Amino acid sequence: MTEDVKHSKPSLKEAIQKGQFAVTCEIGPPKGVDTKEIFEIGEMLKNKANGINVTDLQSSVMRLGSMVTCHFLKDMGHDPVFQVTCRDRNRLAIQSDLLSAYVLGIRNVLALTGDHTTVGDHPQAKPVYDLDSVSLLYTMSRLEEGFDLVGNELNGKPSFFKGAVVNPGADTEASLNLQLLKMQKKIDAGAEFFQTQAIFDENVVEKFMEKITKMGIKTPVMAGVILLKSEKMANYMNKNVPGIFVPKKIIDRMAQTTDKVSMCLEILTDLITKIKPLCAGVHIQALGWEKHVPTLIQNLGL
């Protein structure tokens, strides 16, 4: 065992269960078989995060698989989070992949329904959606009990740390109530932690946490944040990404500087500092700016 692995941060599950402020980052597998970037990012993030999410054909774009990327990260001493979408596999393949991931030492699984194929680079592909995120969580819980979805007994049963996604920035009161309803369904199906869609306003987190507290929900929630590269990116997300809203004050700050990286890190350091007392952790989506994540984590004292 190398020194890096020996002195690595607590696993995601350990950090959350101990009440520590957990940090997860994200890697998107390459479109091809050149895996150099996976290992470069993995080295950058060593001892920086409690877990690293690996996207599963993000935005319906064909890429290298999430499971093999998780396997590489596991070998490097990271605690990977295997994202599983329901878009591309039926229940047979999903159950098989979950068992395969467990055998490879992968314990964290984030259940996602998945973007429709029409938004990706193979719009002619037929979506599956045999399961959705709620039934995927139930599937994991059933496998943990030692049975498949039709009741056949397994020869050895897995154990996962099961995660799901929630969007606290839903556009209307009705859509937010729907998010809360689905959140409760996901908890009932076995969700043990949540990662949110990207937020840019601490007030959104505060109001959301107040709502779930009133509902009696105690499942840990990690706030999602994005490294904002420019005011153009912010305006694009405001216009085209449902449930994400970048406040004007942040857009103005990005527009008024030529040093976009420093301003981005300043904005996020301020935001995460404000939301830290409100949630169980933060999920950092770098979107190509992974090399700046260690600086952000250092600025936060995490």
Q: Which domains does the chain have, with CATH numbers?
A: 3-229+274-291 (3.20.20.220)
| Angle in degrees, 0-180, between the axes of helices 133-144 and 173-189, rounded to the nearest 10 | 10
CA distance 275 to 195: 14
CB 159 within 8 A of CB 119: no
The pLDDT value recorded for residue 288 is 87
Residues 10-37 have pLDDT tens digits of 999 999 999 999 999 999 999 999 999 9
DSSP 8-state symbol, 157: -
DSSP 8-state symbol, 104: T
- Residues of the chain below pLDDT 70: 1-8
What residues does 161 pair with on adjacent strands? 108
> Which amino acid belongs to residue 217?
I
> Structure pTM?
0.94
Residues 131-147 have pLDDT tens digits of 999 999 999 999 999 99
CB 117 within 8 A of CB 86: no
